[in-house]
Amino acid sequence: MNLQEYQAKQLLAQYGVPVPAGEVCATPAAAKDAAGKLFSGGHARVVIKAQIHAGGRGKGTFKSGFQGGVKICRTADEAMKMAAAMLGQVLVTKQTGPEGRLVGKVLVAGAPNIKKEFYCAVLLDRALSRPVFMASTEGGMDIEQVACDQPEKIVKESINPAAGFLPFQGRKLAVALGLKGDLIASAARIFGGLYKTWWECDASLVEINPLCLIAGPEGQESLLAIDAKMSLDDNALYRHPNILAMRDLAEEAPLEIEAGKFNLNYIKLDGSIACLVNGAGLAMATMDIIQHFGGKPANFLDVGGGASQEQVTAAFRIILSDPNVKGILVNIFGGIMQCDIIAAGIVAAAKESRLGLPLIVRLEGNNAPLGREILRGSGLAIISGDSMADAAQKAVRAVECAGAEERV
Ligand code: ADP
Ligand code: MG
């Protein structure tokens, strides 16, 4: 699960990371009020920021033609105008893909005077099986480019999970960023807070980009987290009801939400062969073998070890609501469950959904012959696969033939 910038900043602030004062707003009038409050509180400028689950907003473009999802304003009226230009519009950035994201909320925040922008993040280093802290002097809007062109500009500090992030590591990173004097201690505190947020919230990524060096009215310098991004480990969300409450369903793929209701593990992909499989390992292997024979999987779908007829029916409904699907490959290994029960579920689901697409089924394991018998006796045009390879080849061929018919 991903969080919006304003939510990530709320959590970071709870762990002592300084963030600009701000308010999230859903209407231009609310944005005007929020900006007005910031101006009367002493801020010389405010910023209006589109809240979407993607970065690159500053350099993004709205489908309306309006440029930029991050805008600095000097009056409350201007803030209202900018909010009106963003709310209800679709913002396309490097990270959203061409379809973009609908902006339902904007963050109205104080916009201090930025002298320098740094990058810092905590994530999991899978090669070392440890958390890793990454920091760079080249913060701001093009960190992906920096990682490609100047990887030496990104410093890394590996963290021993038993000891946690140690204060000397924070100071070391601060010095590597070229910070001096009191700023070293404040950066080390911020880095400690960032790590603690990552650890205690069970996050997979917490990123501050940019972490800014700010010049106050009398020239005094301080550090402030200007943008934040946070992804959480879904399997640990049950431990964090406060974070789960931040879930933004409007940002998630509707089919994946529907699948979640039936305990189905569904991830949409962009191919044409839908897979319905029991067990994540078998689902991965099925996707691989489809690719091996020249096809493209339309999804990953694991119905779990003991799928019920209701789940199989829901799985068919979800698969069929993807217009790219041109054929379905069911690959079931009856280890815990009986193949005849699954076969009955498939027949019922195919009849209920008035399935018009090629359906290829491979059943193996408990009661497999009985299951195949049920499929044969169903009167439906189900293609039976003798092995995984056979079923995958038949699925690829059936989809190719369906495509050829469409073209004729
Ligand atoms: P994104 O990463 O999605 O483009 P950011 O929040 O990082 O969005 O904003 C892009 C840039 O806009 C920042 O690098 C910073 O220069 C400027 N900016 C963002 N928020 C503020 C703010 N509160 N005050 C001043 N400048 C800001
Ligand atoms: Mg950013």
Looking at the predicted structure, is the pLDDT value of residue 334 above 90? no
What is the per-residue pLDDT for 405?
Answer: 65
Split at pLDDT 50, 70, 90, the class of 355 is confident
Convert the pLDDT of each residue in 173-220 to its tens digit: 999 999 999 999 999 999 999 999 999 999 999 999 999 999 988 889
Written as six digits, the tokens of 232 are 């959480």
**Average pLDDT for the chain:** 92
Looking at the predicted structure, is the pLDDT value of residue 408 above 70? no
**Can you name the residues that pair with 158 across neighbouring β-strands?**
132
Question: What is the residue type of 64?
Answer: S
Split at pLDDT 50, 70, 90, the class of 263 is confident
What is the per-residue pLDDT for 406?
Answer: 61
**Does the C-beta of 57 come closer than 6 Å to ligand 1?**
yes
* CA nearest ligand 1 atom 23, residue: 111
What residues does the ion ligand 2 have nearby, CB within 5 Å? 209, 227
Q: Which of 39, 46, 47 to mutate to test the pocket of ligand 1 (most atoms within 8 A of CB)?
A: 47
Split at pLDDT 50, 70, 90, the class of 275 is very high
CA angle at 120 for the pair 102 and 161, rounded to the nearest 5°: 110
Residue 43 Cα, ligand 2 centroid: separation in angstroms?
21
* CA nearest ligand 1 atom 7, residue: 227
Q: Quick one: which H or E segment has residue 152?
A: none
Region 377-400 average pLDDT: 93
First CA to last CA across the chain, in angstroms? 44
Per the model's pLDDT, the better-predicted residue between 408 and 340 turns out to be: 340
Q: State yes or no: is 78 an active-site residue.
A: no
Looking at the predicted structure, is the pLDDT value of residue 148 above 90? no
Looking at the predicted structure, is the pLDDT value of residue 142 above 90? no
Region 363-392 average pLDDT: 92
> Domains (ranges, CATH) in the chain?
1-19+113-251 (3.30.470.20), 21-111 (3.30.1490.20), 253-407 (3.40.50.261)
What is the per-residue pLDDT for 36?
Answer: 98
What is the per-residue pLDDT for 5?
Answer: 97
Contacts 24+ apart (CB under 8 A), 193-196: 193/12, 193/15, 193/16, 193/17, 194/12, 194/15, 194/17, 194/120, 194/121, 194/122, 194/133, 195/122, 195/131, 195/133, 195/159, 195/164, 195/165, 196/15, 196/165
Split at pLDDT 50, 70, 90, the class of 337 is confident
Q: Which of 49, 92, 101, 144 to mutate to test the pocket of ligand 1 (most atoms within 8 A of CB)?
A: 49
Lowest mean pLDDT among 40-44, 124-128, 334-338: 334-338
Split at pLDDT 50, 70, 90, the class of 22 is very high
What is the per-residue pLDDT for 168?
Answer: 97
Q: Are strands 327-334 and 273-277 parallel, antiparallel or unpaired?
A: parallel
Per the model's pLDDT, the better-predicted residue between 127 and 304 turns out to be: 127
Convert the pLDDT of each residue in 236-261 to its tens digit: 999 999 999 998 877 777 788 788 88
How far, in Å, CA of 95 to CA of 104, rounded? 18
Looking at the predicted structure, is the pLDDT value of residue 407 above 70? no
Q: Are strands 90-92 and 101-102 parallel, antiparallel or unpaired?
A: antiparallel
Looking at the predicted structure, is the pLDDT value of residue 37 above 60? yes
Q: What is the pTM of this model?
A: 0.78
Name the catalytic one among 6, 119, 195, 266.
Answer: 119
% of the chain beyond a pLDDT of 70: 98
What is the per-residue pLDDT for 231?
Answer: 96
Looking at the predicted structure, is the pLDDT value of residue 404 above 80? no
Region 224-243 average pLDDT: 95
Lowest mean pLDDT among 266-270, 271-275, 286-290, 298-302: 266-270
Split at pLDDT 50, 70, 90, the class of 145 is confident
**Does the C-beta of 43 come closer than 6 Å to ligand 1?**
no
**Does the C-beta of 116 come closer than 6 Å to ligand 1?**
no
Q: State yes or no: is 207 an active-site residue.
A: yes
Collapsing DSSP states into helix, strand and coil, what is residue 311?
A: helix
